[in-house]
């Protein structure tokens, strides 16, 4: 029997897959979008090469991984009947990590997050009805808490249906949690809500640059339109992946919902800029909170309109801005108690991440699929 994991070609999903492969024993059923088997293997190698070399990858590919070529927005993932039956038969727990993080697109969020999650829940129901389902873990987000200001949010009170959401991503992820809760009442469920997942506290390398780009841009400004003492809840991906893998595999996690976040230990803007300034031997920026209004007006005006580079960056900043100025953190006492450790503070690993991202010009130096192995598979 295997763990069915969606989103393994993405940033967090690949970290979860690698953690499960390294620290646990179960085989993995992985849903991968690709036209054929070889493209599926190559896409998986791209996402997992941050974690292992090619011989290790080939080893787990043959011994622990079964790839299902499918899309969560298609009925039964678009799999042939025999393949879908095999997926149901061999799945005894689910980690649903795939999502659209496209905060601007109602359509993408509706299709991938809502229709896609419903499809994954239906797979879980079929496995439950056939042979029982050990656990359904859903990777959600702290964005489900909606509009907030100067708060410490706890797990059980985060969802408030009377509150507005910042974007379609937050709105659809909120309903996904509801769907999982309503449609799988008799299955052990775990909801994981990461905060801003930025970098890996063990290494400078990353292959996801969206949020990093915004961070590097802001880190280079001489003046920032924020309040210096506002907190920002950032969590490293290694902590998130370890928590998802460990709690998913626990027989009885203590809670149904976990914030995977830095909580009260979140750092302030000025703590982060001081750490960066010290690492670079420079002066830190000036904080001018009164610039927040004019800055967001400028960002809104530039987003999607100016040249590709500036417009793209402005669009990025526009979607992330609400999460930078809300001065809201997410209580992490549950996960800290259950994992026995806290996430590393961002100030400890932000400079290596900044340096790596600048040096590689925000692009990971992917290694291609080796030619010898390609012959063996053809």
Site string for ligand NAP, 18-37 (x = CB under 6 A): -------------x-x----
Range in contact with ligand NAP (rule: CB under 6 A) among 5-13, 129-137, 225-233, 327-335: 5-13
Residues 109-138 that bind ligand NAP (CB under 6 A): 112, 116
Site string for ligand NAP, 70-99 (x = CB under 6 A): -xxx-----------------------xxx
Give the residue at shortest CB distance from ligand NAP. Answer: 10
DSSP letters of 163-229?
A: S--SSHHHHHHHHHHHHHHHH-TTS-EEEEEE-EE--BTTBS--S--HHHHHHHHHHT-SEESS-TT
Residues 272-331 that bind ligand NAP (CB under 6 A): none
Q: Tell me if 353 contacts ligand NAP by CB under 6 A.
A: no
Mapped onto helix, strand or coil, the DSSP state of residue 92 is: strand
- With vertex at residue 99, the alpha carbon angle to CA 258 and CA 23, rounded to the nearest 5 degrees, is 55
Nearer to ligand NAP by Cβ, of 9 and 137: the residue is 9
What is the distance between the alpha carbons of residues 42 and 55, in angstroms, rounded to a whole number? 14
Q: What minimum distance in Å lies between the beta carbon of 225 and ligand NAP?
A: 22
> Contact with ligand NAP (CB under 6 A): which of 11, 84, 215, 287?
11
What is the distance between the alpha carbons of residues 132 and 225, in angstroms, rounded to a whole number? 53
Nearer to ligand NAP by Cβ, of 148 and 287: the residue is 148
Q: Tell me if 101 contacts ligand NAP by CB under 6 A.
A: yes
Nearer to ligand NAP by Cβ, of 105 and 271: the residue is 105
Is 351 exposed, middle or buried (CB count within 10 Å of its CB: 0-12, 13-18, 19+)?
middle
Mapped onto helix, strand or coil, the DSSP state of residue 36 is: coil
Site string for ligand NAP, 194-223 (x = CB under 6 A): x-xx----------x--x------------
What is the distance between the alpha carbons of residues 56 and 45, in angstroms, rounded to a whole number? 11
What is the distance between the alpha carbons of residues 296 and 226, in angstroms, rounded to a whole number? 11
Helix (H) or strand (E) holding 258: strand 257-260
Which stretches of the chain bind ligand NAP, using CB under 6 A?
A: 6-7, 9-13, 31, 33, 71-73, 97-101, 112, 116, 139, 141, 173, 194, 196-197, 208, 211
């Amino acid at each position: 029997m295997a763990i069915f994991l969606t989103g393994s070609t993405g940033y967090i999903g690949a970290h979860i897959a690698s953690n499960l492969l390294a620290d646990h024993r179960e085989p993995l059923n992985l849903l991968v979008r690709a036209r054929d088997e070889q493209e599926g293997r190559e896409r998986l190698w791209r996402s997992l090469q941050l974690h292992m070399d090619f011989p290790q990858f080939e080893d787990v590919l043959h011994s622990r991984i079964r790839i299902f070529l499918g899309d969560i927005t298609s009925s039964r993932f678009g799999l042939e009947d025999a393949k879908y039956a095999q997926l149901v038969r061999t799945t005894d727990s689910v980690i649903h990590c795939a999502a659209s993080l496209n905060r601007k697109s109602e359509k993408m969020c509706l299709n991938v997050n809502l229709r896609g999650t419903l499809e994954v829940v239906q797979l879980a129901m079929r496995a439950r009805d056939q042979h029982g389902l050990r656990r359904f873990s859903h990777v959600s987000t702290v964005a489900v808490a909606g509009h907030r200001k100067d708060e410490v949010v706890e797990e059980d009170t985060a969802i408030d249906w009377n509150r507005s959401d910042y974007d379609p991503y937050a709105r659809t992820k909120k309903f996904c949690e509801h769907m999982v809760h309503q449609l799988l009442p008799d299955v052990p469920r775990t909801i994981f809500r990461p905060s801003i997942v930025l970098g890996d506290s063990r290494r400078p390398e990353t292959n996801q640059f969206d949020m990093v780009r915004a961070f590097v841009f802001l880190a280079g400004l001489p003046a920032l339109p924020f309040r210096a003492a506002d907190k920002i809840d950032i969590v490293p991906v290694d902590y998130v992946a370890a928590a998802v893998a460990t709690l998913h595999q626990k027989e009885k996690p203590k809670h149904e919902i976990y914030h995977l976040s830095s909580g009260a230990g979140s750092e302030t803007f000025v703590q982060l800029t001081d750490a960066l300034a010290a690492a670079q031997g420079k002066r830190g920026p000036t904080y001018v909170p009164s610039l927040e209004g004019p800055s967001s007006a400028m960002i809104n005006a530039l987003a999607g309109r100016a040249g590709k580079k500036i417009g793209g960056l402005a669009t990025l900043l526009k979607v992330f801005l609400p999460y930078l100025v809300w001065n809201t953190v997410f209580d992490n006492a549950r996960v800290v108690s259950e994992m026995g450790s806290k996430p590393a503070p961002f100030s400890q690993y932000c400079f290596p991440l900044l340096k790596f991202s600048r040096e590689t010009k925000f692009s990971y130096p992917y290694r291609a699929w080796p030619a010898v192995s390609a012959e063996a598979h053809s």
